[in-house]
Amino acid sequence: MRIQQISVFLENKTGRIADVTRLIANAGINIRAISIADTADFGILRLIVDKPTEASEAISKGGFTTRMTDVLAIEIPDQPGSLAKIMEIFKETGVNIEYLYASLEKDCSTAVVIFKVEDIEHSLKIVAEHKLSTIDSF
Amino acid sequence: MIWNPQYECQESVERKLLQFARLKNLVMTLYSRVPFYRDKFDAAGVKPRDLSSLADIAKFPFTVKDDLRETYPYGLLACPESEIEEIHMSSGTTGVPVVDAYTRYDVECWEEGMARTLSGAGATRHDTVQNCYGYGLFTGGLGCHYGAKRIGANIIPMSSGNTAKQLMVMRDFGSTIIASTPSYALFMAEEARETGYDIKSMKLRAGCFGAEPWSENMRKQIEAAWGIDAYDIYGLTEITGPGVAFECECKDGMHVNEDLFYPEIIDSETGAPLSDGEKGELVFTTLVKEGTPLLRYRTRDVTFLARGNCACGRTTAKIHRLFGRTDDMLIIRGVNVFPSQIEHALIEIEGTDPNYVIVLDRGATHLDEVELMVEVKKELFSDETKTLETLRNKIEGVMKSKLGIQLRVKLVEPKTIERSVGKAKRVVDRRKI
């Protein structure tokens, strides 16, 4: 299923990621997956957390620009070929991916891959048709 | 070289008579032909007959840049539209341009003013003038071009930019006079050194530099870098373009073409006239213009007037090198830019909250470098870098087309922009001129 991702606008300045993670820590929120997209001038921090609404509020209050986006979280076995299989399904069914990043589950037997897709309704349909294992929180 | 001794070296009494006759003619023309001025005169309770001496000019109302915006495009025309032969423009405060419409005679007077300007820098018909001012709506390019043609010099219409070609042409055609912004002259010298040109063997001997503020220190730098004499020149689109005032070999203030333009210095707060030598706002009245004559136009430039006979032989009043401005206009690479124009352009870009700051600097290149910092508000923010990069490119593109300058947009976090007493500081000028 879909899951909420928090994006945070960051200037390329030392210590800005520390500032954001401190805000999240102080709110007692756990980060489950994290990635950063960087350009020459700025970065976009993307986070999956256990309490997205609270986290977004805490980060915004700290003076950052944030945005909530629906993304797909798909659970795959932590073994060779798992991701390739999903990517092939997406390729054949025309699911266009903007970006993705991954996180390992605690028991290390599965991985969670976060996908930002162009058309989330279409991709949810494909995910259901192919009985892929999605999660709505972790 | 004095191009026109009759007017440039005229006796003071004679000049005053000429100026008065021309001024009288001007106020009558404005009152009878330009409804905008008729209304202005009526509102101020003055009639053309109230002008009985030059000093009476102080009874008449000023003209300001916003008047030109409100009458765009042809509201200030004092002649039939069919008499207009050329149009030039520069930026206004809000994006509505300031227009100068020239009749044949206006262009001739412009040529005259620029011929005197180039002659002040020692140019004759034996010179080759490399004109690096931009050709087009900007008055710098064509104004200088017409002046060089009038004196019969060889003119190379390079326009601005393309430094490699500028240097090649300068060497191969033996340019003797250069016309450009002072910062571009320094930039070119740097490029010439780096690309291995032998500057000493170049024939360049003088330069006419204007369109942006500069200093005595920059003069020394330019003169040392090129081995030339550097002259300050002054002009503005509203009045005619370049050719309003220029330096002679004494390099001690710019001679005003007083038979064409009547200068005053006023207190910018009260509007009261100031005496010679007192620093204040420069005001010009066009004495012979037919297309868009202006009465007491407030230039917003700060300087003072000096009278007396100059060692060069000219008797015209001189304005001192400009001290600054009474408004927030910026001059970036010779282009006039108002912070309000940036604000208007940003508002037009959908969703852009105009919280910005413009940072000006002059790096190793000697040219103005401009960074526009725009705060990324929630409505603008996206989780995808390409969306933000598209936004940045869009802002850069809009600024290029609206302001005519290339600037670099930097997206910044909210509240990064310093606010002083609730009002944001919009301009950070780090240029050392």
pLDDT > 70? residue B351: no
Averaged pLDDT, B227-256: 97
Pairing of strands B427-429, B356-362: parallel
What angle do the packed helices B139-151 and B104-120 form, to 10 degrees? 80
Chain B positions touching A67 (Cβ under 8 A) are 378, 381-383
Query: Which residue did the predictor score with more confidence, B401 or B56?
Result: B56
Q: Average pLDDT for residues B370-392, to the nearest whole number?
A: 91
Give the distance, in angstroms, between the CA of residue B368 and the centroid of all CA atoms in the same chain: 16
- Contact between A98 and B412 using a beta-carbon 8 Å cutoff: no
- Tell me, what's the pLDDT at B352? 65
Cα(A12)–Cα(B412) distance, integer angstroms: 9
Q: How far is the C-alpha of B222 from the C-alpha of B230, rounded, in Å? A: 7
Among A9, A16, A98, the residue with its CB nearest the CB of B376 is A9
Q: CA B373, CA B371: separation in Å to the nearest integer?
A: 6
Identify which of B275, B319, B271 has the alpha carbon closest to the alpha carbon of residue B296: B271
Facing residue for B414 by CB, picked from A44, A65, A116: A65
pLDDT band at B422 (very low <50, low <70, confident <90, very high): low
- Whether residue B102 is predicted with pLDDT greater than 90 in this model: the reply is yes
| DSSP annotation of B62 | P
User: Using a CB-CB distance cutoff of 8 angstroms, which residues of chain B are in contact with residue A19?
Assistant: none
The architecture CATH gives domain B332-429: 2-Layer Sandwich (3.30)
pLDDT averaged over every residue in chain B: 93
Reported as a single tens digit per residue, the pLDDT across B43-68 is 999 999 999 999 999 999 999 999 99
Sheet holding B427-429, edge to edge: B408-412, B368-375, B356-362, B427-429
Q: Is B119 left (phi over 0), alpha (psi -120 to 50) or beta?
A: alpha
Q: Provide the pLDDT confidence category of residue B70 given band limits of 50, 70 and 90.
A: very high
For residue B383, give how far its alpha carbon lies from the nearest alpha carbon of chain A (Å).
6
Which sign does the torsion angle of CA B123, B124, B128, B134 carry?
Answer: positive
Which pair of structure tokens corresponds to residue B347?
């508002």
| Whole-angstrom distance, CA of residue B247 vs CA of residue A41 | 45
Q: Does A42 touch chain B (CB under 8 A)?
A: yes
Those of residues 402-431 in B touching chain A at CB distance below 8 A are 410-416
- Whole-number pLDDT of residue B66: 93
State whether residue A36 sits within 8 Å of chain B by CB.
Answer: no
Terminal-residue alpha carbon distance, chain A = 12
The pLDDT tens digits of the residues spanning B295-317 come to 999 999 999 999 999 999 999 99
Give B353's pLDDT tier (boundaries 50, 70, 90). low
Q: Determine how β-strand B177-180 pairs with β-strand B128-131.
A: parallel
Q: Looking at the predicted structure, is the pLDDT value of residue B420 above 80? A: no
Distance CA B189, CA B167 (A): 9
**What pLDDT is recorded for position B177?**
98
Whole-angstrom Cα distance, residue B371 to residue B1? 43
Pairing of strands B254-256, B297-303: unpaired
Q: Buried b vs exposed e over A6-35: b needs ≥16 C-beta within 10 Å?
A: bbbbbeeeeebeeebbebbeebebebbbbb
Q: Residue B167: what pLDDT?
A: 97
B293 prior amide bond cis, ω within 30: no
Amino acid at B343: E
Measured CA to CA, the distance from residue B396 to residue A120 in angstroms comes to 32
Contacts of B415 in chain A (CB under 8 A): 63
Domains of chain A are 2-68 (3.30.2130.10), 71-129 (3.30.70.260)
Listed residue (B289, B280, B269) closest to B319, CA to CA: B280
State how beta strands B98-103 and B128-131 pair. Answer: unpaired
Contact B388 A44 (CB under 8 A): yes
Q: Cβ–Cβ of A39/B385 closer than 8 Å?
A: yes
Tell me the three-class secondary structure of B153-197, residue by residue.
Answer: CEEECCCCCCHHHHHHHHHHCCCCEEEECHHHHHHHHHHHHHCCC
Domain spans in chain B, listed from the N-terminal domain onward: 5-327, 332-429
Higher pLDDT pick, B259 / B413: B259
Residue among A81, A93, A82 nearest A127 (CA): A93
Q: Could you give phi then psi for residue A64, rounded to 5 degrees?
A: -100, 155
pLDDT of residue B96: 86
Chunk chain A into consecutive blocks of 10 residues (it has 138) and report each block's average pLDDT, rounded to whole numbers. Answer: 92 92 95 92 94 95 94 92 94 95 81 94 93 82
Distance CA B150, CA B110 (A): 10
Average pLDDT over residues B20-37: 98
Please tell me if residue A4 touches chain B, with a CB cutoff of 8 Å: no
Residue pair B183/B148 in contact by the 8 Å Cβ criterion? no
What mean pLDDT do residues B424-432 have?
Answer: 83
The CATH architecture assigned to B5-327 reads 3-Layer(aba) Sandwich (3.40)
* Portion 366-395 of B in contact with A at CB < 8 A: 376-378, 381-385, 388-389, 392
Q: Which of A23, A35, A65 to mutate to test the interface with B (most CBs of B within 10 A)?
A: A65
What is the structure's pLDDT at B419? 60
pTM score over 0.95: no
Q: How far apart are CA B350 and CA B228, in angstroms?
A: 50
Find chain A residues with C-beta within 8 A of B353's C-beta. Answer: none
Contact yes or no for B377 and A5 at CB 8 A: no
Q: 10 Å Cβ neighbour count for A89?
A: 15
